[in-house]
């Protein structure tokens, strides 16, 4: 077993986590990329630093909401692309402890989430629009990328790398055991050894030997990088991180072996708080997408974007609560589960743990519900939510379909009945070993 396989064992069992995007951009409330989207100068952006004072930030409440939602781990932005640090770094004055908050917000987060029994992850942006030695003019993303005033500016990128590596060292040293280090992201020629990635990962592994690391030192949401190959680079990461998409067939290496992956998904259409974005996904959709991820051997990292006061939006909390209710009844079909060796059914998805097959039924069928490929292998069938017995049936109109086990939720058995749970009715089938 490889060291990466050992490190990711818990990750592939826990399956569901919370992403938290929070920073100065919560004040303009137009998303986390507002600085570059509006080509905002550091001087214009400074007003948000000057007024940042999240008086309602209570990470213990955030942690309880995540735990009650059935999440097992969290990842929070220690530094996003704007360069603002939510942690107390000796390398910069551009940090939360120098705002009106006067608090190390990351220290409070790690303490609070660990207290609830959740694993803690830290997001760190490789990109920095505040640092003077990060490339400005001509860069694909920098706010000043097209400002001719910066055309002839010189930048000491090695100095930036010392800064960046120094901050990663702080995060790996000052905040106890870190479970996930989530780098974001590489693009164009800004990839791999441009970040001195071998040196960086060597340092991280020495300080946090058990930490799992994403693939974005050489990749991004656009592509997975060498983590998908038979010979991944030293800094390829432990898992792939598709963004705002669930891969059609999961993620495998060149030989078809499943590799650890996690889809990161927003609740609305922004990562950071966006006051006008009310396009929230329904609890039903998110539950079904969590199921889809697990059915393809993947995880779901679901994002919240707290507001400038330090509050998770009520809409997000309501969604988390509904997901938590479903997982409390049906979590056995998610945690420590993965792909079943059966074709995808038309009515939903399968997940599997050992010899227990979970049928996630999203839509009613005409007549009884058929489960293919298990006839003669089923020991017992239960509705997972309440453990009530379901018996295999063979109504008169199913005689030609001998490869199927049929079930239904009413009598006469051959007719159509409402699902017990319209979001996702989960049926557990214990199979012969």
Q: Which residues contact 243 (CB under 8 A, 6 or more apart)?
A: 220, 221, 263, 264
Relative to beta strand 119-125, strand 180-184 is parallel
For residue 18, CA distances in Å to 119, 173, 176, 311, 400 come to 10, 23, 19, 15, 46
Strands (E), 356-421: 356-361, 369-372, 378-383, 388-390, 404-407
What is d(CA 409, CA 328) in angstroms, rounded to the nearest whole number?
22
Which residues are bridge partners to 430 per DSSP? 356, 380
State the number of CA atoms in the 13 A half-sphere of 76 facing the CB.
27
Q: Map tokens 């300080």 to a residue.
A: 207
DSSP-derived secondary structure for 180-217: EEEEE--BTTBSGGGGTHHHHHHHHHHH-TT-EEBSTT
For residue 64, CA distances in Å to 59, 67, 107, 122, 314 come to 9, 5, 17, 18, 14
If we measure between CA atoms, which residue out of 221, 362, 356 comes closest to residue 291?
362
pLDDT under 50: residue ranges of the chain: none
CB–CB of 334/291 below 8 Å?
yes
pLDDT value of position 310:
98
Which residues are bridge partners to 415 per DSSP? none
CB–CB of 322/364 below 8 Å?
no
Coil, strand or helix at 115: helix
What is d(CA 310, CA 324) in angstroms, rounded to the nearest whole number?
22
pLDDT value of position 433:
87
Strand order in the sheet with 388-390: 348-353, 356-361, 425-431, 378-383, 388-390
Structure tokens at 106: 């990351």
What is d(CA 416, CA 433) in angstroms, rounded to the nearest whole number?
32
pLDDT value of position 366:
95
What is d(CA 407, CA 360) in angstroms, rounded to the nearest whole number?
13
Coil, strand or helix at 352: strand
Rg (CA), the chain: 24
Computed over every residue of the chain, the mean pLDDT equals: 97
For residue 254, CA distances in Å to 258, 278, 344 come to 10, 40, 22
Angle between helices 283-295 and 314-330 (to 10 degrees): 50
DSSP 150: G
DSSP-derived secondary structure for 123-146: EEES--SSSTTS--TT-SS-TTTT
The number of residues in the chain equals 433
Q: Map tokens 């939720």 to a residue.
A: 409
DSSP-derived secondary structure for 209-270: TT-EEBSTTT-BTTB-GGGGSSS--TTS-SBB--BS---BTB-B-TTS-B--BEEEE-SSS-
What is d(CA 121, CA 215) in angstroms, rounded to the nearest whole number?
15
Helix (H) or strand (E) holding 45: helix 42-51
Structure tokens at 247: 């891969």
pLDDT value of position 230:
87
DSSP-derived secondary structure for 300-322: EEEEE---TTS---HHHHHHHHH
Domains of the chain, with CATH numbers? Answer: 3-333 (3.20.20.80), 348-431 (2.60.40.1180)
What is d(CA 139, CA 398) in angstroms, rounded to the nearest whole number?
63
């Amino acid at each position: 077993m490889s060291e990466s396989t050992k490190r990711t064992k818990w990750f592939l069992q826990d399956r569901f986590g919370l992403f938290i995007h929070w920073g100065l951009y919560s004040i303009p409330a137009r998303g986390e990329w507002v600085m570059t989207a509006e080509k905002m100068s550091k001087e214009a952006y400074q007003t948000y630093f000057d007024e940042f004072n999240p008086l309602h930030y209570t990470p213990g409440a955030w942690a309880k909401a995540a735990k009650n939602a059935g999440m097992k781990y969290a990842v929070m932005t220690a530094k996003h692309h704007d360069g603002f640090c939510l942690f107390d770094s000796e390398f910069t004055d551009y940090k939360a402890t120098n705002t009106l908050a006067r608090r190390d917000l990351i220290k409070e987060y790690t303490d609070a989430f660990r207290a609830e029994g959740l694993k803690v992850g830290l997001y760190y942006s490789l990109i920095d629009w505040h640092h003077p030695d990060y490339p400005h003019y001509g860069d694909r993303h920098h706010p000043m990328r097209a400002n001719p005033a910066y055309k002839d500016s010189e930048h000491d990128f090695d100095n930036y790398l010392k800064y960046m590596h120094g901050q990663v060292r702080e995060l790996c040293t000052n905040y106890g055991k870190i479970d996930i280090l989530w780098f974001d992201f590489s693009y164009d020629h800004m990839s791999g050894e441009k970040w001195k990635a071998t040196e960086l990962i060597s340092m991280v592994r020495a300080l946090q030997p058990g930490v799992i690391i994403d693939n974005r030192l050489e990749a991004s949401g656009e592509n997975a990088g060498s983590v998908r190959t038979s010979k991944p680079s030293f800094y390829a990461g432990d898992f792939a991180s598709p963004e705002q998409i669930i891969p059609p067939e999961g993620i495998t290496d060149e030989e078809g072996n499943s590799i650890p992956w996690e889809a990161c998904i927003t609740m609305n259409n922004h990562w950071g708080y966006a006051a006008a974005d009310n396009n929230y996904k329904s609890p039903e959709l998110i539950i079904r997408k969590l199921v889809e991820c697990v059915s393809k051997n993947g995880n779901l990292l679901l994002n919240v974007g707290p507001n400038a006061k330090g509050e998770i939006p009520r809409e997000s909390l309501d969604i988390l609560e509904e997901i938590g209710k479903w997982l409390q009844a049906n979590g056995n079909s998610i945690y420590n589960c993965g792909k079943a060796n059966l074709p995808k059914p038309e009515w939903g998805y399968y997940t599997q743990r050992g010899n227990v097959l979970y049928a996630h039924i999203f839509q009613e069928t005409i007549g009884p519900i058929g489960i293919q490929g298990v006839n003669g292998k089923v020991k017992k069938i239960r509705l997972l939510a309440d453990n009530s017995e379901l018996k295999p049936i063979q109504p008169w109109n199913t005689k030609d379909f001998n490869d199927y086990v049929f079930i239904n939720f009413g009598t006469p058995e051959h007719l159509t009945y409402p699902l017990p749970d319209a979001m996702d009715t989960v049926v557990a089938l214990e199979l012969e070993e």
